[in-house]
Every structure is written in C-alpha cells, then in structure tokens.
Structure 1
Amino acid sequence: MTSRVVFVSPATSPSLRQARFYDGDSIDGIGAAHARAAAGSLPAAARAVVSPSVRCRETAETLGLDGTAVPELGALDVGRWRGRTLEEVGAAEPEAVGRWLTDPRWAAHGGESVQDVCERVGRWLDGVQDGDGRTLAVVEPEVVRAAVVHALGLPAAAFWRLDVPPLTATALSGRAGRWNLGLGQPLAAPGTTP
C-alpha cells in the first residue's frame, strides 16, 4: 500500500518576514489572505496533523483543516536564539552561527541539533508509511526539510540546502521503506495558477 504525506509550510508571519527565529507569533494579514485563497486546493486526506506552533495551527484553520497537533512535528528548538534575527545572532555569535550552519550535530545554542530534528521527524515519517491514505501536515519549514532529508537518505548537512517557501506543498509518497518526492508545489485557489 502506498502512503502519501503532503507537507504544507505555514503562511507568512512577522518572524518569517524579518528572518527572525520563530517566537510564537501569528500569521500576518497577507499570509492569512493567501491561505484563505488556497483553502480547498489541497487534496482530500484521511487525516490532518499540524506542528504545535501558533502559525501552523492558524494556517491549518485558515485552510479549512482540523488538524491534530503532533509534538514530533514541532519546530527546531533554537534555544537562546528564539525571537532574535539571524543578523543579530550572527553579529553576537559569528562562530556559533557558522558552526550551526555547517555541523548538523551542533546545538550549543541550548536547543536541539539539525541531526536531532531530522531523526525526530524521520521516526514520525517511518510510522506514517505503514498507515493508509493521505496525510496532510501543516508544519514548520524545518520539519519539511527534515522529512526530505530522511525520505531521500540525504546527509543531515543537506538540510540548509533545501528552501521551503511559505504556503507551499511538498509531497512524499512511498511504499516498503522507499519515498518519492514532489517539491514546493504552490497552493493556489482552485482554478487559478500561482
């Protein structure tokens, strides 16, 4: 039996627009409008799940999904950097940022490593593969990256090479431990082209 998971990245929020490490903010007006326009464009699914973050829950609701929050699909914990911009952290801790971007096992910011999030999301994905029907998952961009790294057997260092734009769909389908990937499909109102 083939399993399908469609990962949907959240609509825009102030932290995303400011390149700030997510700190729990809501989706913004533009993001909400785009999500409302895309409502109804997602394929039917047996289940919907969401990252526990505010912006993922709000995006799911705006898309018309009643998703269950799944802790394993939570955002990458960036520890003491939460709420700060990458520019601020880079100015204050340039060596730490450099290490974070090049060493998937590094987590001296007090949160979790890229390797940790890839393994956490990978365990969840392996459990879904034995399920039936399609799963829609509204999740943080780093969860999409981690799922792709795991599904394709990529090294964790590839994590930062994967861009996940807001409100896009990334589809995985698989059977017997093998996944196929469909990347970055924009969500659009039915009958329109993005």
Structure 2
Amino acid sequence: MAIKKVDLKKAYRLLQIGPTTMISAKHNGIENVMAAAWVSLVGNNKVMAFIGKQAFTRELVEKSGYYVVQIPTVKQMNTVLYVGENSYKTINNKLDKIPIFYQDEFDLPLVEGCAGWLICKVIPNARNEKEHNLFMGEIIGAWSDDRVFNNGHWIFDDAPDELRTVHYVAGGQFYAIGKGTKFNHGPGSD
C-alpha cells in the first residue's frame, strides 16, 4: 500500500460518495426539478444543498422557503440526466415528462420512483446562500421506498439492482451502490 497526495482541486471527490439527488421546489403554481450532486447532511435533521444561481429551481426555493431532496435509483438515470441538462428557463414544460406526486400536508412536487424523499424547510442564511450557493434546510417530512429502505435501514442486498442509488464521481462517471458488507467495530470486537 502507498499513501499518495491528492490534488487539492480534486479533493472534494473524497467526500462525494453520497447519492446523486434531484431537488424540486414549487412557488405560486410553478414547479421544477433539477439534478444535484452536492447535497449532504450537516447535523441532526439538517440538509445542505448547493443550488447555483443559474438554476431556476433556486428562484422557487428562495421564494417558497422549501425544497425537496429526492434520492433517485439506477432505473431513473435518464430522468436525472434530463432534469440536469434541461432548464425550466428554456423548457418550461419539462415536468410534463417527469412523473410527480404530492404527499398530504405538503404542496411540493415529489418525483415518482425514487428510493427516498426529504422535504426541507429553508433555514435562512443570506451569507451562505449568496456567497456559497448553499441552502440549509430542516427535514420536516421524509418517505422511502420500503423495498430499499425499511425500518430505518438501507436493504439494497434484498432489492433489485435497478433500485440501487446512484453516486456521481466526476466527468460524467456514475456508480451504483454496491453490496453491503459488515465489519467488526475495531480491535478486540470479535
């Protein structure tokens, strides 16, 4: 084994093993979905999402104060690429091709077929939003497809491969999550 230095320009890839996501939002009857690679947990019940200034969805998040994080599966990659490559600003009917649904109590679009959904209420932080394009949200509603997430645990080993989550690395390269493995909890835990 060799320990090698990582170029700082690529060091973010070490952390980018979380699932590729889609973010949706709605305001004043207008709804949109975008692909998002930089979404992560930042504390108990809090999510941080990078939403660039060019994204139409950002306008909806800023105006409504809410966003939905969807965790797509392998079988949804065409949808992920479609919403990532096409903006509402140029194709305002792009959701006509995306099956969406709503959960009771929330007037926010959720993309059908995902492994999980998190509805987040924005915790305002003007500096982070303006300078870093980061939106923190408190999770106020969550759902999962029980074929892949049940009783608070991922169960990919029992699910079909097309229901595995997708993980973006860089340069157009994605990976589906692999098989689960259990490890001991350190020396002396045998």
Under a length normalisation based on structure 2, what TM-score does the superposition of the two structures give?
0.25
Larger Rg: 2
Is the helix fraction higher in 1 or 2? 1
Structure with higher RCO (Cα < 8 A, 6+ apart): 1
Greater share of strand: 2
TM-score, normalising length: structure 1: 0.25
